[in-house]
Amino acid sequence: MTYDLVIGDYAYSSWSLRGWLLFEKFDIPRNVTLVEFSSDASVKEQMPSFAPARTVPTIRTPDGGIISESYAIAEDLADRHPDAGIWPENPKHRSVARSLAAEMHSGFASLRNACPMNLRQSFVWESPDAAVLADLERIEEIWAWARKECGTEDGGWLCGNYSAVDAMYAPVAMRIAGFSLPVGSRALAYVDMHLNDLALRRWRAMGLVRGAHLSFYDQPHPQRAWPGPTPLKAQAAEGAPVNDLCPYSGKKSTNMLELDGVIYGFCNAFCRDKTVADPEAWPAFTQVRAEHG
């Protein structure tokens, strides 16, 4: 059962991140189509076979249904994959998760408008305006409420195991991290969980090497180093790789990187470059390193 998933730019498309995480975190097969935010053509014009959809993310289900909007995608995937854990199993926890996810889908306009997601740069906004601070206060309030209701006050994901509500709030976490926004220690610990989540790190690694720089997302605030884990230092290289086949596609290695003095091969430049961006984020590459490193 394979879906078609349409997403926007990895570095900037917050809604696409949500949709992609719903597939990546719950191991649901998909074919991905990427639309270009830098294109002169609109998003709608770039996905004519997905009409009437005009936004990303959008999916085509195996039986031909077209679904736009990440919350609708979450609900449909949960119906079709009831054992995947997309929503919490406990009915009360599930209702809490759905409530928070729905509020995220419809709310926090001030935060979203003032702090567009940008996974290539991190800023220090020293004096957020009152509307953004009000959104942050509300986010902390409902995160704390979810933890109390679901018994997760000691930490972890909001409602127990990772679920759709965490995918919905991943871009919020990236905004808080990316703009150095003021939140309490418990909220910041939850943000750090997202920063360290390997799936999100894979998404960001692709965003660092795929797509054009979009000046619309530049900010007047001072920049700082990205607050997530520091990637291992890898670089593009030449030479004979220790692996004949790409760890992702299984195709012949033609593009190489060097890490800790060892040459590894990949089937194309994108496979190589996304790995250079964050080598530890990719389980398939980690396995190759364990075998040959």
Burial of residue 29 (number of CB atoms within 10 Å: 0-12, 13-18, 19+): exposed
Do 68 and 103 fall within a single domain? Answer: no
Q: Quick check: is 251 in a domain?
A: yes
The pLDDT of 279-286, averaged and rounded, is 98
Average pLDDT over residues 162-183: 98
Section 16-28 average pLDDT: 98
Mean pLDDT, rounded, of the chain: 97
- pLDDT band at 1, cuts 50/70/90? confident
Instruction: Please check the confidence at residue 19 and state whether its pLDDT lies above 70.
Output: yes
Cβ-contact 109, 175 below 8 angstroms: no
Q: How far apart are CA 145 and CA 159, in angstroms?
A: 10
Residue 174: name the closest of 158, 162, 157, 192 by CA.
192
**pLDDT for residue 293 is more than 70:** no
Summarize pLDDT for 182-192 with one digit per residue, the tens. Answer: 999 999 999 99
Task: Please check whether residues 187 and 127 belong to one and the same domain.
Answer: yes
Domain shared by 181 and 246, yes or no: no
Q: What is the CATH number of the domain that holds 12?
A: 3.40.30.10
Domain match, 173 and 125 both:
yes
In contact, 140 and 188? CB cutoff 8 Å: no
- Whether residues 69 and 103 fall in one domain: no
158 and 128 in a common domain: yes
- CA 28, distance to chain mean position in Å, is 15
Burial 135-169 (b: 16+ CB within 10 A, else e): bbeebbebbeebbebbebeeebbbbbebbbbbbbb
Listed residue (219, 207, 168) closest to 12, CA to CA: 207
104-108, 163-167, 170-174: lowest mean pLDDT where? 104-108
For residues 59 and 69, is the Cβ–Cβ distance under 8 A? no
Claim to verify: residue 247 and residue 286 sit in the same structural domain: yes
Q: CA 150 to CA 144: how far, in whole Å?
A: 10
In a domain, 148, yes or no: yes
User: Are residues 73 and 95 located together in one domain of the fold?
Assistant: no
State whether 141 and 98 are in the same domain.
yes
Whether 217 is in a domain gets the answer no
Domain boundary among 159, 181, 201: 201
* 173-229 confidence digits (pLDDT tens): 999 999 999 999 999 999 999 999 999 999 999 999 999 999 999 999 999 999 999
Residue 209 lies in a domain: no
From CA 10, how far away is CA 282, in angstroms rounded?
A: 16
Regarding whether 101 and 154 lie in a shared domain, the answer is yes
pLDDT in tens, 73-114: 999 999 999 999 999 999 999 999 999 999 998 899 999 999
Q: What is the pTM of this model?
A: 0.97
Number of domains present in the structure of the chain: 3
Q: In this structure, are strands 30-34 and 3-7 parallel, antiparallel, or unpaired?
A: parallel
Domain that holds residue 62: 3-80
Whether residue 267 is predicted with pLDDT greater than 70 in this model: the reply is yes
Of the three residues 201, 220, 250, the one that is the final residue of a domain is 201
Structure confidence at residue 157 as a pLDDT band (50, 70, 90)? very high
Q: Distance between terminal CA atoms of the chain?
A: 35
Torsion region of 155: left, alpha or beta (phi above 0 gives left; psi -120 to 50 gives alpha): left
Evaluate whether residue 219 is within a structural domain: no
Please report whether residue 227 resides in a domain. Answer: no
* Helix or strand run (H / E) with residue 7: strand 3-7
On whether both 196 and 102 belong to a single domain, the answer is yes
Mean pLDDT of 236-254: 98
Residues 76 and 95 in one domain: no
| Domain assignment of residue 168, yes or no | yes
Residue matched to tokens 């679901």: 150
Query: Is 211 domain-assigned?
Result: no
Instruction: For the chain, give the number of residues.
Output: 293
Q: Percentage of residues in the chain with pLDDT exceeding 70?
A: 100
Domain final residue, candidates 201, 226, 258: 201
Segment 22-50 mean pLDDT: 96
